[in-house]
Amino acid sequence: MSKWYDEAVFYHMYPLGMSGAPRVNDHSGTVHRFPALEKWLPHVKSLGCTAIYIGPLFESSTHGYDTRDYFKVDERLGDNDDFRHFTEKAHSLGLRIVVDGVFNHVGREFGPFEDVRRNREASPYCSWFKGLNFGWNSPYNDGFGYEAWHNCFELVNLNYWERGVRDYILEAIGFWISEFDIDGIRLDCADCLDFSFMEEMHHFCDSRKADFWLMGEVIHGDYSRYVKPHLLNSVTNYELHKGLYSGHNDHNYFEIAHSIRRQFDANGGIYRGLNLYTFVDNHDVDRIASKLNVPGHIYPVYTLLFTLPGIPSIYYGSEWGIKGRKEGGNDDPLRPYVDLDKVLENPDDPLLLEWVRTLGRVRKENPALVSGRYQELLLTNRQYAFARILDDSGVIVAVNNDDKDADLYIRLPYPDKELHALTGEDSIKTENGSLHIKLKPDASFLAAF
């Protein structure tokens, strides 16, 4: 029996940015921005999403990943009662809530680290931080050195060989489960965390809430090292993310098809049986509308996001084509404030918004798009067709990234079955076991059998 997360469509919320919170937390008092965030929930539901990944939420100093307090919602967003109400409202709409677990590192204002700064060798927390050395110095002139995430010294790496660190983080996780009834955690920098701790965390969460979801941020390497029954349920599929935009920019559907074959082919895919977290953009990478050379390609990109194997995720605002690029090391352009009421009155791309809603509906109504096996049917540089097959039913998907119409003959996995259009095509013609369709530039075709 499948779990809720295997069937989910996620909506990714970066709350500090989308609510217009200040970049720096000056600790001047709580500002209640969660009521504005709650207004997004009906919109999220309308897209066909069934879960929300929201974060970071822990009290922090700036961007949210420099944690100060693991037991407190960031005061720029509200207080713990505000988030409890947000979660209750989401659950009432049938939306699961997954939060950011920033457990690899902390900010310099984290209490135990401040204790080390004050008391040096006499601090009981010296063993909590990696590479702590009182014979060195840090760029902040602390009079001691320490290991930082990617040498960003505002982010201090925790030492998971210290039992006290593990107990503290597990206590925090238990707090978020008991206080807010969260449904899962997205592990920031999972590829930096100790495997034995992730295993311990898995058993801890499983004992406290059934079907609790653990998803890890993993950019490079072998995803199957992390997705195991005793470790994580899923990880970020950065390999497919890259293919989804570059396969369109280069007019090269072979790149996308190669990734899918390599990952999920039934006879040799290295990740077959795993359900990876798929996305076209997020809070760390350029918005999809800014990455594509041809604006219209965003339509087949979203078609593939919703129909290829994986757990799809939409990053807030990209469903109507928000643009944004990194500016050097500055991620703020990727995380803008959005007045939802004003945007929905006049979205940048209302047709794209409606297409994403259509794809959400089609995925919900066709279980083969969730758990059906993948079968490639047609592949050229500019056209791509495949089936998702569940038992003796399924969905045919075809996309065209060309700048002109495409006349396609697609071999059918079940030639004798009748096809039913899912997105308003006028007629479907089959000839000698093949489907004959004409696709306009940047168009998609979806039919069920």
pLDDT for the residue 329: 84
C-alpha span between 183 and 230 (Å, rounded): 18
pLDDT for the residue 426: 62
C-alpha span between 274 and 309 (Å, rounded): 9
Domain 370-448 in this protein, CATH class? mainly beta
The CATH code of the domain at 4-367 is 3.20.20.80
pLDDT for the residue 75: 98
Quickly count: other Cβ atoms within 10 Å of residue 63's Cβ: 20
Q: Which residues sit opposite 133 in a β-bridge?
A: 145
Concatenating the DSSP letter of every residue in 151-179 gives G-TTEEEB-TTSHHHHHHHHHHHHHHHHH
C-alpha span between 57 and 227 (Å, rounded): 25
Ordered by start, the domain boundaries in the chain are: 4-367, 370-448
C-alpha dihedral sign at 236, 283, 21, 360: negative
Mark 387-408 as b/e (b = at least 16 C-beta within 10 Å): bbbeeeebbbbbbbbbeeebeb
* Rounded alpha-carbon distances, angstroms, from residue 246 to 14, 229, 238, 287: 25, 33, 12, 13
Q: Do 274 and 237 meet the contact criterion of CB atoms below 8 Å apart?
A: no
4-367 against 370-448: fold identical: no
For residue 98, the 8-state DSSP code is: E
pTM: 0.97
* Strand ranges inside 141-266, DSSP E: 155-157, 184-187, 213-216, 234-235
Which pLDDT tens digits describe the chain residue by residue (449 residues)?
789 999 999 999 999 999 999 999 999 999 999 999 999 999 999 999 999 999 999 999 999 999 999 999 999 999 999 999 999 999 999 999 999 999 999 999 999 999 999 999 999 999 999 999 999 999 999 999 999 999 999 999 999 999 999 999 999 999 999 999 999 999 999 999 999 999 999 999 999 999 999 999 999 999 999 999 999 999 999 999 999 999 999 999 999 999 999 999 988 899 999 999 999 999 999 999 999 999 999 999 999 999 999 999 999 999 999 999 999 889 999 999 999 999 999 999 999 999 999 999 999 999 999 999 999 999 999 999 999 999 999 999 999 999 999 999 999 999 989 999 998 766 788 888 899 999 999 999 999 99
Mark 255-271 as b/e (b = at least 16 C-beta within 10 Å): bbbebbbebbbeeebeb
Bridge pairing between strands 58-60 and 51-54: unpaired
